[in-house]
Structure 1
Amino acid sequence: MNRTFLFANIPSTLFHRRLSSISKDYQFIQKSRLPSLHFQPSLPRLPIPALEKTCERFLRAQKPLLTEEEYGVVEKNVKSFCSQDGQSLQKQLIDNDRNNRQTSYISKPWFDMYLNDRRPLPINYNPFLVFISDPKKEYNSQLIRSTNLVVSSLRFLKSLNANLIEPEVYHLDPKKSDTKFFRTVTGALPSSISWYGAYLFKAFPLDMSQYRHLFNTSRIPKKDSDELFHVDQTNYITVMQRGKFYKVRVLDDNGNIIDSPTIFSCLKFIIDKPSTEEKHPVGILTTENRNVWADARSHLESIGNSDVLRTIDGAIFNLVLDENELAEDEFTSLIRQYLHADGKNRWFDKSFSLIINKRGVAGVNFEHSWGDGIAVLRYFQDIYKDSTEYPQVNPESKPNNCRVEDYVTDLDFKLDDKSKVSIENAIQKFDSTTSSLGIEVHEFKEFGRNLCKAHKISPDFLMQLSFQMAHHKLNNYFVSTYESCSTSAFKHGRTETMRPLTVEAKELCLDFSERSRHSKEELISKMKKASDVHGNLIKEAAMGQGFDRHLFALRLLSEKAGKVPAIFTHPSYKKLNHYILSTSTLSSDVVHLGAFGPVVPDGFGIGYSIWNDRLGAIVSNYKGNTDGSGLLSCWQASLNELYELLKL
């Protein structure tokens, strides 16, 4: 099963966009000169690649994974597909796309891929991000930080709903295009042609259709295929503490944000409320297999819990108040807490949960079917900036004299013996799963982006090469590797797979395993060529010219017709899509940690970061199946080899 990761490989400058229209108006985080969706109607459509090109790219990706004999069989199947069955499937795909011009050819199939998967959401799908601390240490208490982040979140919501959030635009040269003049010119153009105006500035507006599901959204478990539930507007958030749920009204009857002292008072009331941990926490059921959870939820509804469940589903978002006092330098424990925890104080079905512990360490865990992370990261960065630069409460803040009971409502579940047994079973299963998960963290401080650029080598290529070298050192063979690339430059674009294991990267790994036989000059020359290949693959993927999503769509059509070509039934296709190394990166100054789980039982999840002078990685794996600490040790050794080669 394919999986999209937290952050696609897109230019890091996107995540350093300045908030040119930050607003001091309490109701709005921004008041953009350009409407949020100004460019949406004129975004280009995601192209369907030429069948011949897709077949060429597929073979190129298969070559480093197969023996000559295996490759010969695959090549024969591909040639047959390209000249026969593929032609009719391609025509059908193009016809379908032509009749659905309001979206992309991959949007619905990709939604369905997520919603059909029966695996539990935590670890398998839901990723997380942790904020860096508020620079003002005294603002990092649970109550103060929760209040400020909640208010900033509501300000973001209000601006989004009012079309006042700054449009997401990738600027090739921000100094020339991220300007008032750019906004004036493109703002004067009708939405139907505004994208073309931005293009003249070498600025590329990105799809913002996923933002609709950021708030007031939940994934509902159903037998065989889940549903995405969304309401346009509600006036409350849910708050979880010790496994208990509370409904907190945060908008007034006119849809305006309630004053911050009242929100502060409500959260203080919940935090200070004397209570024990919920004996039968219903949230643990969201860690279950989706069919199991669908049955359990249906039973909960049948015994009188429909209103409580629908209240949770429709909440603006879910605020989680954790009891732990983990500090931000307790990396492994923090990763576990925000990736999965014990599941008792979580509701993994919500579009996102804002999680804050007793020390004020804050983060987000989000459900993945509705979006690919760009909307979450935008929200994440904007509320960090707003909550730290324009905090609404401070260490001297006191509760006001509001009647808290008018704003806070306990949400209590009615449970029978059957539900309690389901909860107890889920606790045991999730504890077993999380106990089997390994987490390894390392920061390599010898070099980073700057040294790579001095050699005109892509830093991302170098990181991916180091992972290939590490796995080869550990196991002496090569495996299918996934790196996500955003196609958000297109209307309803999602992601495309970029495959870092190229013929050139494999050859380099083998050369490094026989280092004494190759000169420094030879290896650096090969690295530059392999880096160029890597960069071109990223460009192809970002421009909708990868092969994975195209073949995915063609395969679905063939399955629907009941005639699946040999290209899809040969074991090599399954092997190519069995991602032993699942990798993702992000660049943001406000992210302290971010990671995800492995996507196959015998694989590794690798979240990595590249800074100017250092490199970092978080590796997850299932301890009984793979060696996470061994991979990390081999990764460090590989980076040392690369540093010895490249150091000036």
Structure 2
Amino acid sequence: MAEAHQAVAFQFTVTPDGIDLQLCHEALRQIYLSGLHSWKKRFIRFKNGVMTGVYPGSPAGFMVVVVSYMSYNKYKQLDPSLGLIAKIISHTLIRYMSTDSQRIVGGVLVGTGLWVTIIMIMRNVLKSLLSWHGWMHARHGSVSWSTRLWMLLVKVFSGRKPMLYSFQNSLPRLPVPSVKDTCRRYLESVRALMDDEQYERMKGLTKDFEKNLGPKLQWYLKLKSWWASNYVSDWWEEYIYLRGRGPIMVNSNYYAMDFLYVFPTSIQAARAGNAIHAIMLYRRKLDRAQIKPIYLLANKVPLCSAQWERMFNTTRIPGLETDILQHMNESKHIAVFHKGRFFKVWMFYDGRLLLPREIEQQMERILADKSEPLPGEENLAALTAGDRTPWARARETYFSRGKNKQSLDAIEKAAFFVTLDDTEQRFEPDNPVKSLDSYAKSLLHGKCYDRWFDKSFNLIVFKNGTMGLNAEHSWADAPIIGHLWEHVLSMDPVKLGYTEDGHCCGEPHPNLPGPQRLQWDIPAECQDTIQSSLTLARTLADDVDCHIFPFDDFGKGLIKKCRTSPDAFIQIALQLAHYRDKGKFCLTYEASMTRLFREGRTETVRSCTMETCAFVPATHLTPPVTVEERLKLLKMAAEKHQNMYRLAMTGQGIDRHLFCLYVVSKYLGEDSPFLKEVLSEPWRLSTSQTPLQQVELFDLVRHPEYVSSGGGFGPVADDGYGVSYIIVGENLINFHISSKHSSPETDSHRFGANIKQAMLDILDLFQLEKKAM
């Protein structure tokens, strides 16, 4: 192969005088360019670290403060330091300098101290301002004078040109709710789900906990909240994700879809070329902290950016009792899977990132490779799809040395993982239901051996050019990977584009070294473990019932005309649909974020409220309740939902507090019947909205089809539903539903039909047609 010769850096020739070592010029050039790239990256990281560390200050501000101080001292002949400069001079080596030098050095030192003091004051004032959440309670479309003044102060103290991590030191800590408030809200959240006898029993357990064990556990939790930057996130990551011993495929990992109606190219290698290049450009922006912080409220309220840190070069490493997250500061390659073979593909050449056409060239080489998988190689990734403990044992026994370790390192230390899938997935207008369901299942679990589920994320490119993502959940939540995906989809067909015949723009590289085929020596015993994991994973995957449907009867635009929150509208529709589907209510999980606080992740909105449970049956009573009465009940339910969402976002949720109290009780060896029962209650309806965060990247008015169709996840309970939805523009809402075939109580397609009818029935209550007449 021609590229094999390009990869040879050293040539050895044996002569009578010994060994003649000739270092080729190309190798020296590549070493120089690679080193230059690394040093540039280190310098940028150092500079950004300094800029973030002193934010909202800046080097220019430092010069202004120091020069102003020294000028004032010189021309006014006064000492604003109140003798501090004299003390510094008398106790340091500065006293041996000339008088002018003493003044300059002393002025710089005191000016620096003054500058640091100003920064700390600004930072703490901003932290205090961001601790106020009164703006969330304002009626939509109206802003009070107090909120306007608060917004002005936030803007003044936020500094100029913030980078991604600039606000991290200014964000407030997540507050710990009182035990009394949490217990009260818990009882309120389950009242509609229990009969009188069950409720009285739970009320007794709650009161006993609130009076006796609760205060003791709360004291330890308060102590942690003062010491740690976030009292929830590290325990949540460890106990909810990393200590789980079951498969992460379906149970934890989630997926993101491509465009629904747009097909930029049908050439698999070309689509991979543009997508991989766009992802690497995003990583470069991330390394340089050039991604803009995420804001709420008209770009005034910053959200925590900590979760971005482990997006790339990260792998979940299995352990016997708990997994760990391995993150590399630098990775210059990706790992690619195709038809049972693994490849290592370098992303840099000539000291620069490969261009889209060059990446396409590498993908073409992999697709053209006709070599067969080595023994055990084809199904190897099934280890990441099965139980964690067998995978941990196999990794320690068979992949800790030799070529197996080298190849596994190439995968685990890759920037991310790519699968060139040999199946075709796409939305088909002639067969929309089956095609979308198949597409979702492929992204969620594939063949159970063709995704490396431990990687932070997998890019999956199908044979016909459609693509998607599968993401591991422990390192971050869905909005973080969604931000990356929005960047990729906005760049792919528009900014990067394709030639008329569907290839990436540009030309192939004549001397580009080809992909490196990873080598394995997998013994029969390990192959047995692989097969066991694959059998378990296939059983789990075959049981998943996925259903995706675009709801295009109406969207956010019409819901706003009802003067109702779109999210509350949809959540109430889900409750109505579930009641019709199963004839009962259930404990419902809606994910909310707590990134208004430092290192915040998620909180639960218990969206099955008493108000919703009052509205839903009113639609089925005989004789029927009047439209006016049902509308009144609906508005009360929507307002209640909005208030619950606000409480969750502002650190006053129920479930994370109860979870942490439970962890403390386990550390103390205390048994709490109340906490044990609360944390064992199943979430039979688990829901999440996929937010569109970078609206400016898309033209939602003229081209709403150029937006991701959202993503989804597996069911949380064996007899429950998982529902994810994305509001696309003004007129489209995409729903992703999952359940299990093995449950006689669930049917994803039936539930989808109930959701659609519930949405239409709720809209009818507002009688918008009559109001328009």
For the aligned pair, the TM-score class normalised by the smaller chain equals 0.7 to 0.9
The whole-number CA distance in structure 2 between the counterparts of 1:358 and 1:409 is: 22
Aligned twin of 1:383 = 488
Given that 2:175 and 2:225 are in contact with CA atoms closer than 8 Å, whether structure 1 keeps it comes out as no
Given that 2:164 and 2:289 are in contact with CA atoms closer than 8 Å, whether structure 1 keeps it comes out as yes
What SS class does the counterpart of residue 320 from structure 1 fall into?
A: strand
The whole-number CA distance in structure 2 between the counterparts of 1:358 and 1:258 is: 22
Alignment of 1:286-301 (within 5 A): 286-301=384-399
The whole-number CA distance in structure 1 between the counterparts of 2:490 and 2:726 is: 21
Alignment of 1:98-113 (within 5 A): 98-100=226-228, 103-113=229-239
What SS class does the counterpart of residue 390 from structure 1 fall into?
A: helix
Given that 2:544 and 2:739 are in contact with CA atoms closer than 8 Å, whether structure 1 keeps it comes out as yes
What SS class does the counterpart of residue 642 from structure 2 fall into?
A: helix
Matched, 1:604 2:604: no
Pair 387,638 (structure 1): closer, same or farther in 2 beyond 3 Å: closer
The whole-number CA distance in structure 2 between the counterparts of 1:81 and 1:148 is: 57
The partner residue of 1:75 within 198, 203, 216 is: 203
Deviation at 1:96, TM superposition (A): 1.6
Aligned twin of 1:645 = 765
Aligned twin of 2:285 = 159
What SS class does the counterpart of residue 671 from structure 2 fall into?
A: coil
Alignment of 1:320-339 (within 5 A): 320-329=419-428, 330-339=435-444
The whole-number CA distance in structure 1 between the counterparts of 2:507 and 2:710 is: 32
Given that 1:242 and 1:278 are in contact with CA atoms closer than 8 Å, whether structure 2 keeps it comes out as no
Give the number of aligned pairs: 582
What SS class does the counterpart of residue 184 from structure 2 fall into?
A: helix
Alignment of 1:394-473 (within 5 A): 394=499, 395=502, 397=505, 400-404=508-512, 406-473=513-580
The whole-number CA distance in structure 1 between the counterparts of 2:332 and 2:175 is: 40
Given that 1:438 and 1:623 are in contact with CA atoms closer than 8 Å, whether structure 2 keeps it comes out as yes
Given that 1:321 and 1:357 are in contact with CA atoms closer than 8 Å, whether structure 2 keeps it comes out as yes
Identity of aligned residues (%): 28
Alignment of 1:35-54 (within 5 A): 35-54=163-182
Deviation at 1:78, TM superposition (A): 1.7
The partner residue of 1:308 within 407, 411, 414 is: 407
Deviation at 1:84, TM superposition (A): 2.3
What SS class does the counterpart of residue 587 from structure 1 fall into?
A: coil
Question: Unmatched 5+ residue regions in structure 1?
Answer: 1-9, 12-31, 178-202
Deviation at 1:140, TM superposition (A): 4.6
Alignment of 1:27-38 (within 5 A): 33-38=161-166
Matched, 1:350 2:455: yes
What SS class does the counterpart of residue 186 from structure 2 fall into?
A: helix
Pair 401,450 (structure 1): closer, same or farther in 2 beyond 3 Å: closer
Pair 515,537 (structure 1): closer, same or farther in 2 beyond 3 Å: farther
Aligned twin of 2:120 = none
Given that 2:594 and 2:603 are in contact with CA atoms closer than 8 Å, whether structure 1 keeps it comes out as yes
Moved more, 32-41 or 213-222: 32-41
The whole-number CA distance in structure 2 between the counterparts of 1:384 and 1:638 is: 32
Deviation at 1:450, TM superposition (A): 3.1
Deviation at 1:252, TM superposition (A): 4.4
Deviations 1:578-600 (A, max 9, x none): 11001111133621241110012
Aligned twin of 2:325 = 228
Question: Unmatched 5+ residue regions in structure 2?
Answer: 1-135, 138-159, 429-434, 693-703, 769-773
Matched, 1:594 2:733: no
Aligned twin of 1:250 = 347
TM-score normalised to structure 1 length:
0.85
Given that 1:234 and 1:314 are in contact with CA atoms closer than 8 Å, whether structure 2 keeps it comes out as yes
Letter of the 1:124 partner, please give it: N
The whole-number CA distance in structure 1 between the counterparts of 2:653 and 2:243 is: 24
The whole-number CA distance in structure 1 between the counterparts of 2:427 and 2:369 is: 26
Aligned twin of 1:199 = none
Deviation at 1:41, TM superposition (A): 1.5
The whole-number CA distance in structure 1 between the counterparts of 2:624 and 2:568 is: 23
The whole-number CA distance in structure 2 between the counterparts of 1:313 and 1:531 is: 46
The partner residue of 2:615 within 508, 530, 533 is: 508
Deviation at 1:399, TM superposition (A): 5.7
Deviations 1:231-281 (A, max 9, x none): 100211111111211001112485x41344432321221122224567632
Aligned twin of 1:84 = 212
Moved more, 490-499 or 620-629: 620-629
Alignment of 1:167-316 (within 5 A): 167-170=293-296, 172-173=297-298, 177=299, 203-252=300-349, 256-276=352-372, 280=376, 281=378, 282-302=380-400, 304=402, 305-316=404-415
The partner residue of 1:619 within 733, 737, 742 is: 737
Say which structure, 1 or 2, has more relative contact order (CA 8 Å, 6+ apart).
1
Letter of the 1:240 partner, please give it: F
Pair 133,251 (structure 1): closer, same or farther in 2 beyond 3 Å: farther
The whole-number CA distance in structure 2 between the counterparts of 1:614 and 1:230 is: 38
The partner residue of 1:496 within 603, 628, 642 is: 603
Given that 2:549 and 2:735 are in contact with CA atoms closer than 8 Å, whether structure 1 keeps it comes out as yes
Letter of the 2:358 partner, please give it: T
Given that 2:336 and 2:418 are in contact with CA atoms closer than 8 Å, whether structure 1 keeps it comes out as yes
The partner residue of 2:417 within 318, 324, 332 is: 318
What SS class does the counterpart of residue 433 from structure 1 fall into?
A: helix
Given that 1:260 and 1:392 are in contact with CA atoms closer than 8 Å, whether structure 2 keeps it comes out as no
